[in-house]
Amino acid sequence: MSLFPPILPSPLPPDERLIRVHEVMRITAMSRSTIYRKMKEGSFPEAVHVSQRFTAWRLSAVREWLHNICAKQP
């Protein structure tokens, strides 16, 4: 008998999971300030405010933004 409850599979597809700013920084190679500046300018996906101290981005939105940036390159 385990002391911990079983881990249930996520109800969201893997691409729809929420990622925190450090993972966004790793994926995009941008600094935190650049991410927030671009978000304020409207050129980066808006964050999801889960609570007052919990902000995250949809992985699918960040991937789509990257795809669009790469598609603009010659």
- pLDDT the model gives residue 39: 96
Rounded mean pLDDT of 26-46?
96
Burial class from Cβ neighbours inside 10 Å (0-12, 13-18, 19+) for residue 21 reads middle
- pLDDT the model gives residue 70: 86
Query: What is the Cα–Cα distance from 23 to 57, expressed in whole angstroms?
Result: 9
How confident is residue 16, by pLDDT bands cut at 50, 70 and 90?
confident
Chain mean pLDDT for the chain: 87
The tokens 């101290």 sit on which residue? 53
Q: Any idea where the domains of the chain sit in the sequence?
A: 18-72
